[in-house]
Amino acid sequence: MKLIVKRKINPENLFVNIFSLSVTMGIAFLIVIVLILFLSKDPVKTIRYFFIGPFLNRYYFGNMLNSVIPLIFTGLGIAIAFKASTFNLGGEGQVYSGALAATAVCLALPNANGFIGGGLAIIAAIGVGAVLAGLSGLFKMKWGTDELISSFLISGAVILIVNYFITGPLDDPANNLLATREIAKQYQFMQIFPPSKLDISIYFAVLTAFLVFFFMFYTHQGYEMRMCGLNREFSRYGGIKVKFYLVLPMVLSGSFQGLAGAVSVMGTYHMSVKGFSFGMGWNGIAVALIARNNPLAVIPAAIFFAYIEAGANAAMIHSDVTFEIAAIVESIIYFLITAQVLKDFIRYRKRRPE
């Protein structure tokens, strides 16, 4: 007897998700407008640049899309972990260490072929991220250590180690920044929307989201991983190796965090700059939450998050507000989505007897 399982989309749940997300975004933007009215001497000008600024010219628009690239990778990494009910809070350190690993390989092979050396750099970044996150999964499997705590603590230690290498052995004394030397030209990704920094890795990021979606929903391992995320005890009785899926999601999650660091170095910065990745890991969590851990929804969620930051930058440059306004909006989105206040409220109202 062959059991065939088909996934069906519940239109009611889909409507609730879309509606709650839309209301969340609307509230966030409404708060932005209120803050601007209080903080800006010329609120009309500030509001205009916040909402329209990212689309004013090729430079602003291209840079906004460029900031989407690492958000897609970090969002995918977090989505994989969350889908398996594992929690990777070490994205900051994994992105940062991945960037350093890619930089180190590129600097060690200054005359190598761009494809070979670049491939090695990306593999090194993926490997470092996978090991750092995989350790937390391994500790969870062996001793029941909370991966949420261990991944965060490992990340904090790794950030200090990476800072040491950037400002110490790999520091470029000719650079005014606290940064390593610039990687060779053959390792730098081709820009596709000058004068912005947007590079060809955006195509790779979008393709990766589709591949992750296929893996999670149309492969045997993806199915088992999602089952473990839903109910580990039931999965164990069903013959699934639950311990394996305590480690694999963390390894995959860390791999994407490290990859985000590599593409940031090879596509945007062309060197490791101290503190350049600050916020990438946390923003990846927000992107995954907005996307409800759906790999394809990570793309528009990353665009939305990049749009907020680009709008805040444009408003800061052309008016009298500070960049912190974007952080306020992001924190509001964190709160509303993680708590799922609106979603639960809607369900309660629908089920409550009149």
Domain boundaries, the chain: 74-302
The pLDDT assigned to 164 comes to 95
Q: State how far the Cα of 307 lies from the Cα of 54, in Å rounded to an integer.
A: 7
pLDDT (average), residues 9-26: 63
pTM of the model: 0.89
- Rg of the Cα atoms in the chain: 21
The pLDDT assigned to 314 comes to 87
User: Is residue 261 very low, low, confident or very high in pLDDT (cuts 50, 70, 90)?
Assistant: very high
Q: What percent of the chain has pLDDT over 90?
A: 58
Per-residue pLDDT tens over the stretch 305-351: 899 888 888 888 888 777 777 677 667 766 766 665 445 444 544 54
The pLDDT assigned to 353 comes to 44
Return the SS3 of 210.
helix
The pLDDT assigned to 131 comes to 97
Q: State how far the Cα of 236 lies from the Cα of 244, in Å rounded to an integer.
A: 11
Q: State how far the Cα of 300 lies from the Cα of 293, in Å rounded to an integer.
A: 12
Closest CA to 72 of 327, 332, 291, 329: 291
